[in-house]
Amino acid sequence: MQKKPVLFLYCQHSLGMGHLRRSMEIARALVNDFRVVFINGGRIPEAIPRPEKIEFIDLPPLATTADGILTCLTGEQNLHAVKEMRRAMIQDHFHRLRPDVLLVELFPFGRKKFAFELLPLLRLAKRSRPKPLVLCDLRDILVDNRRDQQRHDDRACWLGKRYFDAILMHTDAQFARLEESFRPRQTLTTPVIYTGFVVKENNTSMALQQNPGIVVSAGGGNVGAVLFDTVIAAQSRIWRQYKTPMTIVAGPFLPEAAWRQLKQKTPQKSGLTLFRSVPDLQSLLAQATASISQCGYNTAMDLLKTRVPALLIPYSEGRENEQGKRARKMEKLGIVRVLPEARLNVDTLVGEIERLLAFKPEPVDLQMEGAEKSSVIILQLLADMPDHGGEQHYARLA
């Protein structure tokens, strides 16, 4: 029996868990055709089950704070020592398993703080014989509001051309294209292949004693405290007028102090249910009257899949503009309502919820089989590697 090709999937979720969820969904689709080795650089919450048949290499976990500072999550104070340990682990496993495919999530278009381990890995892959197929794994929209944006784009373009064989962009090209948020001064010659959106297939259902009503979520929850506090302040008015229940899913990364405050407020509120996390947000949304959330990639995909009426309040602190751009695109399609974070207050939110309860999303036709298509694309690109005759094939896929 022929052995499956070995695929290294590098995933570093830093602030939230959107990258982790999408990478796990892709890994779940790849496992039928590849021996998937998942290099995990962050903390995996217990609420997120690890897919079967995937080999996990858990690095000492690192994350970035909301203001971009790299931190250890193990209590280890020597950041330099943790970096050295992670770099050595990655290279040791590369030498041991000699992967046929290296799939790197986001870098070089993001994850600059992790170049300390990714650049040595890419150099190792480039000089290996046989050389593995090296791919970048991208979401639909990039942050393009950095102070050094032009320098960042130029550097990413150079690294993309030097180390990567192709870029897999997980979006429908009708919804978003790379050049909308990536503008280097030189032309990116690395092929960009649009896979369609990566959407989790809902195979579970939460057993609920009552209608969840309006479901409020903020991804991992790391930056959701302000949204939750405003929702709780508005909830009593909505309950009195409409008797519509509300369910808050705080997220496993909501800071513990903020979680304690939420728990203290909840018993005083009729019609309000609070969860720290749920195993499947999509299942909960499928049973909901409406949704209020930020606009990370995975939340947006859950909304596209369930078509629940949704109010988006995209996270926009600092220079983060990815969620706002995604939300505006969805609003233009008529599938959500949007409230800018700067306008979030109790009175405004109550008015928006009243309009949300009467809102009907428009139907959309977007490609949403990105995980499955990624596996097909990678197999075909790998088959093209020996004779380097892949240019016509890239043209067919792009």
pLDDT recorded at residue 393? 42
Rounded CA-CA distance 106/110 in Å is 5
Rounded CA-CA distance 108/119 in Å is 9
- Residue identified by tokens 């995909």 is 301
Rounded CA-CA distance 329/25 in Å is 24
* Encoded amino acid at 245, one letter: P
DSSP state of 84: H
List the CATH code of the domain at 6-199+368-397: 3.40.50.2000
Sheet strand arrangement including 35-40: 55-58, 35-40, 6-11, 101-105, 133-138, 166-169, 192-194
Query: Which pLDDT tens digits describe the chain residue by residue (398 residues)?
Result: 568 999 999 999 876 677 889 999 999 999 999 999 999 999 887 778 888 899 999 999 998 876 778 888 877 678 999 999 999 999 999 999 999 999 999 999 999 999 999 999 999 999 999 999 999 999 999 999 888 999 999 999 999 999 999 999 999 999 999 999 999 999 999 999 999 999 987 655 666 657 899 999 998 888 899 999 999 999 999 999 999 999 999 998 899 999 999 999 887 788 999 999 988 899 999 999 999 999 999 999 999 999 999 999 999 887 789 999 999 999 999 999 999 999 999 999 999 999 999 999 999 999 999 999 999 999 999 999 864 344 444 444 44
Distance of CA 272 to the CA centre of its chain: 28
Q: Give the total residue count for the chain.
A: 398
The pair of three-digit structure tokens given for residue 81, joined into one six-digit string = 């020592």
Distance of CA 252 to the CA centre of its chain: 15
pTM: 0.91
Q: Which superfamily does 214-356 belong to?
A: Glycogen Phosphorylase B; (3.40.50.2000)
Q: Where in the chain is the domain with CATH 3.40.50.2000?
A: 6-199+368-397, 214-356
Q: What is the largest CA-CA distance in the chain?
A: 69
pLDDT recorded at residue 25? 94
pLDDT recorded at residue 310? 98
Sign of CA dihedral 280, 168, 128, 29: positive
Phi and psi at 37, nearest 5°, equal -110, 110
Q: Hey, which bits of the chain come out as E strands?
A: 6-11, 35-40, 55-58, 62-64, 70-72, 101-105, 133-138, 166-169, 192-194, 214-217, 246-249, 272-275, 290-293, 310-312, 337-338
